[in-house]
Structure 1
Amino acid sequence: MASTSTNVRKRKGFTLEQKIAIIEDTEKKTKTQSKICEEYSIARGSLHTILKDKDKIMSAYTQGLFSQNRKKMRRPETNDVDRALFTWFKDARSKNVPLSGPILVEKAKEFAERLGVTSFTGSTGWLDRFKSRHEIVMKRICGESAAVCQETIEGWKDTQLKKILEEFSPDDIFNADETGLFFKCLPNRTLALKGEQGTGGKIPKERITLKHLNPAQ
């Protein structure tokens, strides 16, 4: 008859949150290790590895170095830069500041210089790994929107506008249109934590108005 351990379905990997749960269950000592292996579908050797790395796992969890859903915990060589940037990232997003990859790289370089980390380069590969570690994704910002009532416009053109134009010579009538240059407007997409709403706040009102005129004839 096969032993209980051979009937346990082995998992390929565990998230950081699952590893914490396994460690806590083991330390409570209310269950045997065999029972824990059975409940979590984990091989006894994998359980021993998790317990051996307990301090490293707990440190990563409490310091927020990795997403709780991440399975592999390959620590970045520039831990201090990574930690400082992620703290800044969360603060910026809490204020609805739109962020992009180049902004993160420049901010990381700034932290590296402050911390004296001379090996940091801010490469594309580093940025990809940083976003993967913290489950950061690109999202479209949900902002304000407005709609124009075309029916009202057409009604005004057919009634009021015709009466106004009768008072002018054709040479004095122009088609005019205007547009606004919002010189403080930020991008309409942002990097955000997975599961976070892509909020960017209200669009700045500062603008330069440009008007175009063309003869109506």
Structure 2
Amino acid sequence: MPKVTEKRRRKVLTLKQKLEICQRLEKNESRHSLMEEFGCSSSTIYDIKGQTAKLKTFTKTEDAKGMAKRQTLRKPKLEELDRALFEWFKLKRSEGACISGPLVMEKAKDFHEKLGVEEKCVFSSGWLQRFKARHGIRKLDLSR
């Protein structure tokens, strides 16, 4: 009777882990040791090595907190609006202002108009959740 092999489970790495693999490959660490440590296949390691340049340029523009959980290189549809909104968010947060979800959505609508973006966008609670996940924002409201 032929030997039954188990199907390998799909392993999705975070961008932080992928960047670590790139750095360790540049230091000539063996692929086999990386495969064992990260629990992925050799083809995954080869794919990550091929994406090294993209990963490095993407991680320069993104927030470090979001990198720990983020798994893809996809950027938001309205990248300019997203960047402006996050800059506003960081400024207000550094001033110690209380920022709520509805306030972020309202400000996003304002930026949408001011930037003259023609593409229609619905700033829903789902959009807010994705915005928070993209930028590593865990809590909006800060209690004083």
**TM bin (shorter chain):** 0.7 to 0.9
Q: Does the aligned pair in 1 maintain the 2:63–2:136 contact within 8 Å?
A: no
Provide the TM-score with structure 1 as the length reference.
0.54
Q: Does the aligned pair in 2 maintain the 1:11–1:41 contact within 8 Å?
A: no
Within 5 Å, give how 1:1-217 maps onto structure 2.
12-29=11-28, 31-64=29-62, 67-73=66-72, 74-124=74-124, 125-138=126-139, 191=140, 198=142, 200=144
CA distance change for structure 1 residues 111 and 61 in 2, over 3 Å: closer, same or farther?
same
Cα distance in 2 between the residues matched to 1:82 and 1:65:
12
> Which residue of structure 1 aligns with residue 3 of structure 2?
none
Tell me which of the two structures has the higher relative contact order, counting C-alpha pairs closer than 8 angstroms and 6 or more residues apart: 2
Aligned-residue Cα RMSD (Å) equals 2.6
Query: Comparing both structures, which one devotes a greater share of its residues to strand?
Result: 1
Unaligned runs of 5+ in 1: 1-8, 139-190, 193-197, 201-217
What is the deviation of 1:126? 1.6
Cα distance in 1 between the residues matched to 2:51 and 2:116:
29
CA distance change for structure 1 residues 65 and 79 in 2, over 3 Å: closer, same or farther?
farther
Which one has the largest radius of gyration? 1
Could you tell me the percent identity over the aligned residues? 36
4+ residue runs of structure 1 moved beyond 6 angstroms?
none
Which amino acid is 1:83 matched to? R
The number of equivalent residue pairs is 135
Unaligned runs of 5+ in 2: 1-7
Query: Comparing both structures, which one devotes a greater share of its residues to helix?
Result: 2
CA distance change for structure 1 residues 134 and 41 in 2, over 3 Å: closer, same or farther?
same
Cα distance in 1 between the residues matched to 2:9 and 2:49:
17
SS of the equivalent of 2:67 reads coil
Provide the TM-score with structure 2 as the length reference.
0.76
Q: Does the aligned pair in 2 maintain the 1:96–1:199 contact within 8 Å?
A: no
CA distance change for structure 1 residues 87 and 120 in 2, over 3 Å: closer, same or farther?
farther
Deviations along 1:72-118, one digit per CA (max 9) or x if unpaired, are 32321111211221122122111111001121122222333343322
Cα distance in 1 between the residues matched to 2:69 and 2:120:
23
